Structure 1
C-alpha cells in the first residue's frame, strides 16, 4: 500500500528512522516550498539518501486528498511511502506480548488501556506521553476506538511521530485483556473521579492504568476488574481533565516513582 505522511513531526520521525536503520526503499519527499523547519528535514533526508522531488501545491493537494480533512494541511511537504505494510512494526500481538511479559518478573512495565477513547487527537497525545514516560504497551479495543486507517494520520500527527515507536495492541475484548494482565502480575488502576489520590499510592513494578472514554468513563465490567480507582487532585472549577491530559499526569507519576 502507499502511505501519505504529513506534518513536520511525523515526517521527521520517518526520516530519523530511515537514518537509524539505513532503510529508504519506497521513501520519497515531495516538496512545494521551503522554510527553516523544512530545510532541517531536507538536510536529514539528504544524509539518509531519501529522494526529494520538487512539486507544486496542487500536486501535494492531490496527494493528501485520501487523508482525513484534518491531516490534509501539508504545509508544503509530503512524504510518500510506497509498499508500506498493512500493519506497522509496533502493532504487536497481545497474547504474544503477555507471554513474553511473564518471563520478565522483576522488570518495570507500564501498560495503559484505553476504553473507547474515540478521538484520534486524544489517542495521539496519549501515545506521545507513553513514549516520553516509558510505557511498555498501549491496549485499545477493536470497536469503539480510534484505531482504523482514517484515524492513523491524525494519531501520527498528534503523537508527534511517537505512534511509530510505542507498542500498540488492538484486542477484541478489553475485560479479557485486563484479566490476562492481572494473571501476568500487573496491578490494575482505573482512572476516575472520587478515587484514591494518586500521590498517595506506591505503584508496583508492573502497573496497568485504565483510561475511560471521553464521555462515559470506564465501562462497568472493566471497572470491576480494577484493583483500585485513582484520581488526580485538582483545584479548577470544571469537574474533570481531558483524558489525554489525565493520562499524561498518571503516566508521569508512575514513571517518577520507577526512576
Structure 2
C-alpha cells in the first residue's frame, strides 16, 4: 500500500476524519478555543487517544498549508491510495456497472478536491489520478473534498493510458471532455464508463484522448471559452447520472 502524509485542516474536515475512523496521531487546537464544534472535535480525539496540543494562533498559521485552519489542525497517519481493483470491486459489491473518474493534468488541489466531492455525490465508484503532473492528496484536497475522500477511493497510477487499456479489457469504455467533441446530450453514456477530465489550460493529453471512445463537449453559450475543470466534471457526471437513471 502507498501512503502520502498530510495534515487535515478546518473543523468539518477534522471532525469528518475522526468520525470516519481515520487514525489521527496529533490534534492541534487554538489555545482558549472552547466553542461547540471544537468541543465535539476534542471529544472525538479523546475517544481515540489522540494527542491534543493547545497552541497559539501564530503556531497554527505557520503549520497551515491552506490558511483556513479555523483553529484546528490534525496530523493524520495518512490517506491510503486504493488500487484500481478496489474501485472495480466496490461497483461489483453494489451490483452496479463501474463509473470511474480519470483525471489528466489536474494540478490544482482545489479542483482535485472538488472533483472527488462531485464523484462521490454522483455515485462514481472511485477516482484515478496519474503519479506525475497531478495534485496528490494534500490538506487542501482533503478540505475541498468536504469529507468525500473518506468514502471515495483514489488510485494513483504510473500511466493513465495503460490503465485505460486495462479497463477496456474489463468492458469499460471512455468518454473525455473536450471542446471539439460531440455535444454530450447526443451521446449514449450508459453502461460501464470512465469519465476523463483534463485541466482548463491543457485539457486531456493527446495520448489519453486518442484512447477515448467518445469526445464529449458541453454546450457553451457565453463569451469565454471554458468551464472550470471541476464544474465541467460535474456537468458531464450528471449527464451520465441522468442517462443511467433512464430519464
Instruction: Please confirm whether the aligned pair reaches a TM-score higher than 0.5, indicating the same fold.
Output: yes
CA RMSD across the alignment: 2.8
TM-score by length of 2: 0.83
Residues 98 and 181 of structure 1 are in contact (CA less than 8 Å); yes or no, is this contact kept in structure 2?
A: no
Indicate whether 1:39 and 2:36 are aligned. yes
Residues 109 and 206 of structure 1 are in contact (CA less than 8 Å); yes or no, is this contact kept in structure 2?
A: yes
Q: Shift in Å at residue 93 of structure 1?
A: 1.7
Instruction: Give 2:217's match in structure 1, choosing from 231, 235, 238.
Output: 231
1:189 & 1:203 partners in 2: Cα distance? 8
- Between the two proteins, the alignment pairs up a number of residues equal to 239
Indicate whether 1:135 and 2:124 are aligned. yes
1:243 & 1:180 partners in 2: Cα distance? 25
1:179 & 1:24 partners in 2: Cα distance? 35
Q: Which runs of 5+ in 2 are unaligned?
A: none
2:159 & 2:32 partners in 1: Cα distance? 46
Instruction: Give 2:83's match in structure 1, choosing from 93, 105, 108.
Output: 93
Query: 1:6: which partner in 2?
Result: 9
Which contiguous aligned blocks of 4+ residues in structure 1 show a shift greater than 6 angstroms? 101-106
Instruction: Give 1:199's match in structure 2, choosing from 178, 185, 198.
Output: 185
Q: Which runs of 5+ in 1 are unaligned?
A: none
Q: Shift in Å at residue 197 of structure 1?
A: 1.7
Instruction: Give 1:247's match in structure 2, choosing from 223, 230, 233.
Output: 233
2:5 & 2:198 partners in 1: Cα distance? 33
Residues 189 and 226 of structure 1 are in contact (CA less than 8 Å); yes or no, is this contact kept in structure 2?
A: yes
Structure number with the higher strand fraction is 2
Spell out the pairing of 1:1-259 with structure 2 (5 A cutoff): 3-18=6-21, 26=25, 28-32=27-31, 34=33, 39-43=36-40, 45-46=42-43, 49=47, 53-62=53-62, 64=63, 67-68=64-65, 71-81=66-76, 84-85=77-78, 88-89=79-80, 91-94=81-84, 96-97=85-86, 100=89, 107-147=96-136, 152-259=138-245
Q: Shift in Å at residue 3 of structure 1?
A: 4.8
Q: Shift in Å at residue 256 of structure 1?
A: 2.5
Residues 138 and 169 of structure 1 are in contact (CA less than 8 Å); yes or no, is this contact kept in structure 2?
A: yes
TM-score by length of 1: 0.80
Q: Shift in Å at residue 33 of structure 1?
A: 5.2
2:44 & 2:86 partners in 1: Cα distance? 35
Render the CA deviation track for 1:5-35: whole Å, top value 9, x for unaligned.
21233112113214xxxx7673545233548
1:102 & 1:53 partners in 2: Cα distance? 41
1:102 & 1:109 partners in 2: Cα distance? 5
Q: Shift in Å at residue 108 of structure 1?
A: 2.4
